[in-house]
């Protein structure tokens, strides 16, 4: 026998009968007192006790629970900037194009694992931020990929900008990317609180997403490593997202 992997306590049809059972523990002594003093006819005892729980179960089944009928079933992966906004540039390499390739690689591994996904484009298509933000709603997790740039060409490292509630996931994502690229973790073990980000408040994060900075495009060594190993890093990022999603269900 294989049990269904879900939490039964989310259903009112379970909660209400359990509440009814608890209340009956309180009601039964009072009912017995009423029967003893013939305030309630004996024939109603079975009716009262026998109908309470089925009635509560029926009510629980009839009350709409829209949140349960819109269970998150997908992962959102998007690329920073867009086809008309290249982001940071280093010679022939454009941030928007690099992170689009990384998005596609992560999407590939998620699909291989039969994880439903939504993206802001297929192939070289990279839609704008407004499109990416709209995809966040209803997702189990939403990730957008970017690359840092700095005037200091030696600046390097990996970070994920996220709200405090997503700190652990942010750290896990940064760690696998840093390991794949043989880089270092920035911030708090790879996590940057949005409130401490040099970019200030970001729309993608404010709407519940996380932004993974895949190194510095301005650092020649880190850029070279990205181009050589982004498929490896994408595979490990996908593994983190798969484990995260499965832990939710």
pLDDT of residue 202: 87
Helices 95-112 and 220-248: angle between axes, nearest 10 degrees: 30
Are the CB atoms for 27 and 10 separated by under 8 Å?
no
When comparing pLDDT for 234 and 4, which is higher? 234
Are the CB atoms for 194 and 163 separated by under 8 Å?
yes
d(CA 77, CA 121): 10
pTM beyond 0.75: the answer is no
- Residue 162's DSSP bridge partners are 193
d(CA 83, CA 90): 17
- Residue 45's DSSP bridge partners are none
Q: Look at the alpha carbons of 65, 69, 79, 231 in this order and tell me if their dihedral is positive or negative.
A: positive
Nearest to 85, CA basis, from 22, 127, 23, 47: 127
Q: Look at the alpha carbons of 23, 25, 30, 35 in this order and tell me if their dihedral is positive or negative.
A: positive
Helices 220-248 and 167-181: angle between axes, nearest 10 degrees: 140
Fold of 75-248: Aminopeptidase (3.40.630)
Please report, rounded to a whole number, the percentage of residues in the chain having pLDDT higher than 70: 69
Q: Is the pLDDT of residue 104 over 70?
A: yes
For the chain, give every domain's residue range.
8-69, 75-248
What is the residue-averaged pLDDT of the chain?
Answer: 84
pLDDT for 118-129, tens place per residue? Answer: 999 999 999 999
Phi then psi for residue 208, to 5 deg, are 110, 0
pLDDT for 26-48, tens place per residue? Answer: 555 665 655 555 555 655 555 55
Mean pLDDT of 192-216: 88
Nearest to 174, CA basis, from 224, 203, 210: 210
Are the CB atoms for 95 and 88 separated by under 8 Å?
yes
């Amino acid at each position: 026998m294989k049990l269904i992997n879900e939490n039964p306590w989310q259903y009112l049809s379970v909660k209400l009968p359990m509440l009814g059972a608890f209340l009956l523990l309180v009601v039964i002594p009072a009912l017995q007192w009423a029967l003893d003093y013939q305030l309630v006819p004996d024939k109603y005892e079975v009716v009262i006790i026998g109908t309470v729980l089925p009635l509560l179960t029926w009510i629980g089944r009839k009350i709409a629970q829209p949140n349960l009928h819109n269970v998150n079933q997908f992962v959102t992966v998007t690329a920073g900037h867009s086809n008309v906004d290249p982001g940071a540039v280093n010679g022939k390499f454009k941030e928007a194009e690099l992170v689009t390739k990384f998005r596609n690689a992560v999407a590939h591994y998620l699909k291989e694992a039969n994880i439903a996904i939504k993206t802001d484009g297929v192939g070289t298509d990279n839609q704008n931020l407004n499109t990416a933000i709209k995809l966040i709603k209803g997702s189990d997790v939403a990730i957008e990929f970017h690359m840092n740039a700095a005037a200091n060409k030696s600046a390097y490292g990996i970070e994920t900008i996220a709200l405090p509630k997503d700190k652990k996931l942010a750290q896990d994502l940064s760690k696998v990317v840093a390991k794949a690229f043989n880089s270092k973790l920035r911030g708090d073990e790879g996590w940057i609180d949005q409130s401490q980000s040099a970019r200030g408040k970001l729309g993608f994060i404010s709407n519940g997403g996380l932004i993974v900075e895949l190194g510095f495009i301005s650092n020649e060594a880190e850029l070279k490593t990205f181009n050589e190993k982004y498929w490896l890093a994408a595979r490990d990022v996908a593994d983190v997202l798969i484990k995260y999603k499965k832990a939710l269900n």
